[in-house]
Amino acid sequence: MKKSILVINTLISVILFSCQKPIDENKIASDAVEAYKEKQTIEADKMETIAQQFYNQLSNPNDPQTDALSKNYMDENWVSTPEPIGGAGRVGFVKTLSVFGAMITDLKWEPQEMLVSGNKIIVRSIATGTPNSPEGYFFGTPTNGSKRFEIPTIDIHTIENGKITESHHVEAWLTALGQINEK
């Protein structure tokens, strides 16, 4: 009896295993890689959308909703290197936009390229504007609103939990001063 149960169990196992499709390990690996790439693309798209909000604000520094809008994409304790003229944190960013909005009412900050790596996004952009501050000076250079500047900028933002937490940036402000100082 034990021998017949063993034979029946063996036959059932053979039948079950012979009905299964062979496992294609290459297909499984390929599918996993494609799923990973798709997830990375979605994450990169989300990060680009978050970063774009930052540049939309820079291009509209006099928007009365700046404070409320910046809460959507920027951490309260945002760290900027160098620290902006308005001070540290998200509130400092809002103050900085107010200062720039008074000096350069037509300021535009247009991303040209965004590269995502992990939780960092590198943005190469062009900043343009026509300084015409109420005091008649732009970073110590006399201006009357008749000269425009166009400068390259590069930012490296860290994004965590859907918000920019840190930014390192370089702008060619000396180039801007040279452009508005040209005769």
pTM attached to this predicted model:
0.77
Give which of 57, 165, 46 is closest to 111, Cα–Cα.
57
Strand 137-138 to strand 74-81: parallel, antiparallel, or no bridges (unpaired)?
A: unpaired
Question: What is the mean pLDDT of the segment spanning 106-126?
Answer: 96
- Cα 117 to Cα 29, 45, 48, 159: the distances in Å are 23, 12, 11, 11
47-82 tens-digit pLDDT: 999 999 999 999 999 999 999 999 999 999 999 999
Is the model's pLDDT at 84 over the cut of 60? yes
Per-residue model confidence as pLDDT tens digits over 4-14: 565 555 555 55
Q: Distance between CA atoms of 183 and 173, rounded to whole angstroms?
A: 18
> Which letter does DSSP use for residue 136 in this model?
S
**Burial per residue of 4-22, b for 16 or more beta-carbon CB atoms within 10 angstroms, e otherwise:** eeeeeeeeeeeeeeeeeee
**Residue that the structure tokens 């201006």 belong to:** 143
Q: What is the reported pLDDT for 139? A: 84
* Residue 170 CB neighbour total at 10 angstroms: 12
Tokens 């732009």 locate to 138
CATH class of 28-181: alpha beta
CA-closest candidate to residue 62, choices 108, 17, 2, 14: 108
What are all long-range contacts of 94-100, with beta carbons under 8 Å and residues at least 24 apart? 94/66, 94/67, 94/70, 97/57, 97/58, 97/61, 97/66, 98/61, 98/62, 98/66, 100/58, 100/61
Distance CA 123, CA 58 (A): 13
Domain residue ranges in the chain: 28-181
